[in-house]
């Protein structure tokens, strides 16, 4: 088993601390400068749906060869709740194992996905969690499949049930255009345990970022959800459908979203 696969559930040691100084002194000012220069735009819709106490499981679509979408969701939550309220994000061990990238994303809130296998054991600090239920297939899909989500896993529903947290669906637009993937690389998967997205550009491209938060989904009878896979799968499908509706509404306004829609229509026509 490779080192990438070696992550285990959280062992009860000191919980990680998010580097708020990095957020406030470097990352937020950098985005502000890029927005002023009109390299990026950044809008947030539905801030009223973010719980005021910050306790929530955020579930969103995933795209782009680098997890900038996690950063923009975190930034949107900081805008809604103030500094020091950034959620932790469940992240593939393969990404955390990368040199330079891994240590950086840990500082801004990334933790191994394996930690959430036993969510009831997590420290109280980790009661705001972000999930990309598409997983690696989401952010490694090629640009001509933009905004066409991969199937969601239901792990985030189990975390919400175990911790008695609401699920906030979030649609993220911009990652597809900013960090487009030219091709899905699978040849190294047997060696490193993960596929990768081959970047179309190594430099983030200008993009119109938007995060749309939806009304929280509260889980009734959480114990039943924990023991009944069909129930948790049904909740995951409902949350995914909510996110997809926002993507369908907003993505056609972007050139890449329009191209992906044409490709999808052509594929159905030849099937």
User: What angle, 0 to 180 degrees and rounded to 10, lies between the N-to-C axes of helices 28-36 and 68-81?
Assistant: 100
Say how far apart CA 163 and CA 181 lie, in whole Å: 35
The DSSP result for 89-105, as a single string, is: EEE-HHHHTSTTHHHHH
What integer pLDDT is reported at residue 92 of this predicted model? Answer: 86
Q: How big is the CA angle at 213 (ends 122 and 63), to the nearest 5 degrees?
A: 80
**pTM higher than 0.85 for the full model?**
yes
Write down the H helix ranges in 38-126. Answer: 68-81, 93-96, 101-107
Gap between the Cα atoms of 57 and 141, Å rounded: 24
Q: 3-class DSSP state for residue 153? A: coil
CA 134, CA 119: separation in Å to the nearest integer?
19
Residue 51 DSSP SS3: coil
Whether the Cβ atoms of residue 73 and residue 58 lie closer than 8 Å to each other: yes
The first and second tokens of residue 36, run together, are 């002023």
In three-state secondary structure terms, 225 is helix
Helix 229-250 vs helix 155-163: angle between axes, to the nearest 10 degrees? 110
| C-alpha to C-alpha distance for 181 and 198, rounded to whole angstroms | 5
Q: Distance (Å, rounded) from C-alpha 72 to C-alpha 58? A: 13
pLDDT of residue 47: 96
What is the radius of gyration, based on Cα positions, of the chain? 18
Per-residue pLDDT of the chain (271 residues), as tens digits, is 344 444 566 666 666 789 999 999 999 999 999 999 999 999 999 999 999 999 999 999 999 989 899 999 999 999 999 887 899 999 988 888 888 989 999 999 999 999 998 888 888 888 899 999 999 899 999 998 999 999 999 999 999 999 999 999 999 999 999 999 998 888 877 766 778 788 999 999 999 999 999 999 999 999 999 999 999 999 999 999 999 999 999 998 887 776 666 665 555 555 5
Say what the pLDDT of residue 158 is.
95
């Amino acid at each position: 088993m490779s080192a990438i696969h070696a992550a285990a559930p959280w062992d009860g040691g000191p919980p990680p601390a998010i580097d708020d100084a990095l957020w406030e002194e470097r990352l937020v000012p950098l985005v502000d400068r890029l927005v002023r220069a009109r390299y990026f735009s950044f809008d947030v819709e539905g801030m009223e749906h973010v719980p005021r106490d910050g306790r929530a499981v955020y579930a969103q679509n995933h795209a782009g060869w680098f997890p900038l979408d996690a950063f923009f969701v975190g930034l949107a939550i900081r805008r809604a709740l103030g500094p020091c309220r950034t959620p932790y994000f469940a992240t593939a061990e393969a990404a955390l194992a990368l040199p330079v990238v891994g240590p950086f994303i840990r500082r801004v809130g990334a933790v191994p996905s394996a930690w959430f296998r036993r969510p009831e054991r997590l420290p109280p600090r980790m009661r705001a969690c972000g999930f990309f239920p598409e997983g690696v297939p989401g952010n490694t899909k090629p640009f001509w499949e933009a905004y066409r989500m991969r199937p969601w896993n239901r792990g985030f529903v189990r975390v919400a049930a175990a911790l008695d947290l609401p699920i906030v669906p979030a649609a993220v637009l911009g990652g597809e255009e900013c960090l487009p993937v030219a091709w899905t690389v699978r040849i190294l998967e047997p060696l490193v345990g993960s596929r990768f997205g081959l970047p179309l550009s190594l430099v983030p491209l200008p993009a119109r970022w938007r995060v749309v938060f939806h009304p929280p989904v509260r889980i009734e009878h959480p114990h039943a959800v924990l023991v009944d896979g069909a129930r948790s799968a049904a909740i995951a499908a409902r949350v995914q459908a909510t996110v997809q509706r926002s993507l369908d509404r907003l993505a056609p306004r972007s050139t890449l979203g329009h191209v992906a829609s044409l490709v999808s229509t052509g594929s159905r026509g030849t099937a």
